[in-house]
Amino acid sequence: MNKGGIGVIVTEKAPAKINLSLDTPMRYLDGSPRWDMVMTSIDLADYLTIEIHRRPQTIKIYTDSGFLPNDQRNLAYQAVHILKTRFHREEGVTVRIKKKVPVAAGLGGGSSDAAAVLRGLNRGWQLGLSLDELAKLSLTIDSDVPYCIYNHTAHVTGHGEQVTLINAIPHYWAVVAKPSVSVSTPIILRQINYEQIQHLDNVGIMTAIEEGDWRSAFDKMGNVLEPVTMPHYPAIKFLKERMQKLGADFAQMSGTGPTVFALCHNESRAKRIYNGLRGFCSEVYQVVLL
Ligand code: ATP
């Protein structure tokens, strides 16, 4: 790797996240929710190639998805821009993204791409920043980006900037299914009725996970946005119920939806759920928790 980083090409994997739990105790004065979530990552990922070149000041983003923006609206672009500005880097940067994570799915695909760019440029430019420092820089991009810097089971609070890693989950299979509906995150967030939320015991959930007591974790896990999102999109409820009928240990919507995931302690059960959903849903994946 040369000192200025010119000519350097780095690759990064950008895994999707799922919400093992999602709660919000209150709204901030600006109307945004204060989060209280337990998140983990899965081995469904986008793949990025980041190239640093001499042409000054240009940021180019290419994706193999026909309907994603390639300009400053792309979260990967914003990640390049933040590091270029902060460290006064004159080089051009080209990012090529192979999208595998469904878009606008509640799986944090865009946030994970941005986090991967930050990690990749940190290496390519030899900036020497720690993951904590990268996470701090990343918050202005999107609330899920700090978590995606680590991609490790974690308690995530505040606007998403407080990330506390917890012991990794033992090997578990997951099936992830995205119904073909588009959920608008801002619209869902505006509809949260804070008086009606049944809050979750996230401390209990984390203790159970760390102790490997999955039965107890499943009893406590939840997503307080399910009652907000599901009534608008019956397909989400249908997929969740189907996963339960097919024998999932646990099934839940991720983020603001519409993706639903099932967790299974054995692979054959996960395969059965995967096969049982393929006829109903075009975007379904059998994966493992990272
Ligand atoms: P959120 O819950 O933060 O809305 P999500 O996980 O539901 O995120 P993403 O796949 O991150 O969904 O996409 C959310 C929005 O971000 C989409 O409208 C998309 O156009 C935009 N976006 C910007 N950059 C990207 C990217 N690199 N990959 C995916 N979406 C991106």
Q: Which of 103, 117, 118, 260 to mutate to test the pocket of ligand 1 (most atoms within 8 A of CB)?
A: 103
Cα–Cα distance, 45 to 7 (Å, whole number): 25
Q: Please state the atom number of ligand 1 nearest to the C-alpha of residue 142.
A: 3
State the complex-level ipTM: 0.95
Per residue in 253-277, pLDDT tens? 999 999 999 999 999 999 999 999 9
> How many A from CA of 221 to the centre of ligand 1?
25
> 9-165: which CATH number, 1.20.120.530, 3.30.230.10, 1.10.1740.10, 1.10.240.10?
3.30.230.10
* Banded pLDDT at 280 (limits 50, 70, 90): confident
Q: How much is the pTM?
A: 0.95
CA-based end-to-end distance of the chain: 29
User: Is residue 18 lining ligand 1, measured as CB closer than 6 Å?
Assistant: no
Q: What average pLDDT does the segment 211-233 reach?
A: 95
Cα–Cα distance, 258 to 106 (Å, whole number): 6
Q: Return the ∠ at Cα 21 (arms to 208 and 159), rounded to 5°.
A: 120
Tokens of 100: 């595998």
pLDDT at 4 over 60: no
Tokens of 242: 């189907």
Residue in 258, 211, 12, 239 with CA at minimum distance from that of residue 112: 12
Q: Is 104 annotated as a binding residue?
A: yes
> How many A from CA of 255 to the centre of ligand 1?
12
Go through the chain and tell me how many residues it has: 290
pLDDT at 171 over 90: no
Assess whether 201 carries a catalytic annotation: no
Amino acid type, 262: A
Q: What average pLDDT does the segment 159-185 reach?
A: 92
pLDDT at 3 over 60: no
Domain boundaries, the chain: 9-165, 173-288
Ligand 1 atom 15 nearest Cα: 104
Residue in 53, 137, 130 with CA at minimum distance from that of residue 96: 53
Mean of the per-residue pLDDT values of the chain: 94
Assess whether 17 carries a catalytic annotation: yes
Per residue in 51-102, pLDDT tens? 999 877 799 999 999 889 999 999 999 999 999 999 999 999 999 999 999 9
* Banded pLDDT at 1 (limits 50, 70, 90): very low
Q: Is 222 annotated as a binding residue?
A: no
According to the model, what pLDDT value does residue 57 have?
77
Q: Which CATH fold would you assign to the domain 173-288?
A: Alpha-Beta Plaits (3.30.70)
Tokens of 130: 């720690």
According to the model, what pLDDT value does residue 5 have?
64
User: Is residue 185 lining ligand 1, measured as CB closer than 6 Å?
Assistant: yes
Give 168's contacts (C-beta < 8 A, 6+ positions apart): 152, 153, 290
